[in-house]
Structure 1
Amino acid sequence: MQSMNGEAGLVLVVVIVALVVRQQLRTRPVRHIGSLVAPALLGCLGVAGIAFGVFTVVKEHPLTALPIILLVVSLAVAAGFGAARARTVRVWRDPEGVVLRKGTAATTGLWLASVCAHIGLGLWIDHAAGAGVLGTVSLYAYLAIGLGTQNFLVRGQAAAL
């Protein structure tokens, strides 16, 4: 987290994750398009962040394959956590026929584990890159892929009802 100005970066991460988890624990309708808006916005921020991170690293020295491989692994881990979280989200039809969703305590636990995994992988990416930015700035892309995967799978559960 050193590249995000230490404490300010940590606060930003905590706020973003808290907002995402809070939204997950609310009972809300399953939306076909709306469930992909937040991941799309996070994805745009993620692409910009990764581009900035690569540019910052390349200014100081050549970027090797290891940080890129670790970044890809990190994003695959995000998708895996998203798939696991989707299995913990309750999906049901209310008496009016509206399909609803709500995360559980397990959903929250998996979010926390996911964030810890990202922090660990981010530190490893930054160490391998030799500059402390690429792993850190990939947070938005990590959230986009994890949340997008989860929402896509929850939409599938809703369609099956």
Structure 2
Amino acid sequence: MSLVNVLVIVGVIALIAVRQSKPQRIATEGRGWLVLPVILVVAALREPGVIDGHDQALSALLLGAELVVGLVVGLGWAWTSRIWAEPDGTVWSKGTRATAAVWAGGIAVRVGMVAAGALLGVHQGTGALLLALAASILVRRGVLVWRAHAIGSSNGPGPSYGDRAAAEPWKDRV
């Protein structure tokens, strides 16, 4: 496990945690959101130990499972995030307690997979985790943009995920 990859993983998780604790605008256009996943994939693939050379089949199976966990965490992360539209048409999201629970569950599953790999004698580097993190970010982004378009296509701001009721309608005052 290289020190650079460990620092990248810790930095990305810290960045994600900070960003999820505050509302953030969902930009539905542009490709700037690809930068972080591309950096993670490049960092993962530059490390030679993504697949263990001693037991390639089991190592590939664990890598596939890690990617599936990353996809599921990304889906859970996106679906548990609160999303709403402002009157000016901008769409915003913010992580909820359920989002934090999805992250905690994903981390627990990953720790279990690393432990299972170690018990089976398969060396797992940080590359699999970086790839899964990139997959999580991509899936989350795709689902949030899809949800933002669904909200943006309505005639006005509607109830957001996590709200108990729709917003009060505007009333004329006499």
Per the shorter chain, which TM-score range? 0.7 to 0.9
Matched residues in 2 for 1:120 and 1:136: separation? 15
- TM-score, L = length of structure 1: 0.77
SS of 2:89's equivalent in the other structure is: coil
Indicate the residue corresponding to 1:20 in structure 2. Answer: 16
Structure 1: state its 5+ residue gaps: none
What CA RMSD, in Å, does the superposition of the two structures yield over aligned residues? 2.5
1:147-158 paired onto structure 2 within 5 Å: 147-158=137-148
1:28-43 paired onto structure 2 within 5 Å: 28-32=24-28, 33-43=31-41
Q: Which aligned segments of 4 or more residues in structure 1 are displaced greater than 4 angstroms?
A: 11-15
Indicate the residue corresponding to 1:86 in structure 2. Answer: 78
Sequence identity percentage: 27
C-alpha distance 120-12 of structure 1, shift in aligned 2 (>3 A): farther
Indicate the residue corresponding to 2:67 in structure 1. Answer: 75
Give the structure with the higher percent helix: 1
Matched residues in 2 for 1:48 and 1:27: separation? 34
- Deviates most, 135-144 or 82-91: 135-144
C-alpha distance 101-88 of structure 1, shift in aligned 2 (>3 A): same
Offset of residue 73 of structure 1: 1.1
Correspondence 1:138 to 2:136: no
Give a deviation string over 1:80-104, Cα, whole Å, max 9, x none: 1111111111121112211111111
C-alpha distance 129-135 of structure 1, shift in aligned 2 (>3 A): farther
Alignment size in residue pairs: 148
Amino acid at match of 1:44: V
Q: Max radius of gyration: which structure?
A: 2
SS of 1:96's equivalent in the other structure is: coil
